[in-house]
Amino acid sequence: MSEGPGALDRETRWSALGTKGGTIWLTGLSGSGKSTIALGLASELLRRGVHAYRLDGDELRRGLCRDLGFSAEDRNENIRRAGEVARILADSGSIVVASFISPYEAGRRDCRRVHESSGITFLEVFVDTPIEVCERRDPKGLYSKARAGEIRGFTGVDDPYERPKDPDLVIHPEEQTVDQSVALCLELLAERALIASLPG
């Protein structure tokens, strides 16, 4: 794909780096375990010599998206920006491991569209942890605050989470360990030819 006069095209860049870019997008409720799985996956990819970058929702909220609140409009814009950042990083040759609540189907669909319109693979992984389990974990105390009315518009409490209709992979952290979840993601990446199929 050409990037303009005098620019290196993607195929030349990926060939020179010996890599292939793409995004694997983990979505799920707060406390579902998606960030833990994403960290494990990114670490394992790097261990295998695959150029990977973990893109986390909290990190973007502290920087690129610090001007955004939590209205539906701001959440959509947050995910739009995240999707564009993921696409750029993937275009550079990285496997982007993105973990975002990304509660709305339309936002996730737009992230897929912006990748696929650029010829970049986008894989959606639904980390399907029941809200009751997420609330028991409540690592940041957010569900307690939402139930007490201290936080408004909290996903899963008084703002909806739209479950993915056709994800590329569904993970059930209540039934699978982190290592097993990471292995499933690796299998998916290998099936879509983003990484080599490696034993163990």
| Positions of the chain with pLDDT lower than 50, given as ranges | 1-2, 200
129-172 residue pLDDT tens? 999 998 888 878 888 888 888 888 888 888 889 999 999 999 99
Q: Which letter does DSSP use for residue 54 in this model?
A: E
Using the CB atoms, write b or e for 21-42: b if 16+ within 10 Å: bbbbbbbbbbbbbbbbbbbbbb
99 is catalytic: yes
The answer, as to whether pTM is greater than 0.85, is: yes
* Percentage above 70 pLDDT, the chain: 95
pLDDT at res. 1:
44
H or E element, residue 90: helix 72-91
pLDDT at res. 2:
45
Q: Which of 32, 99, 102, 181 is catalytic?
A: 99
What does the H/E/C string look like for 102-118? CCCHHHHHHHHHHHHCC
- Domains identified in the chain and CATH numbers: 12-129+160-190 (3.40.50.300)
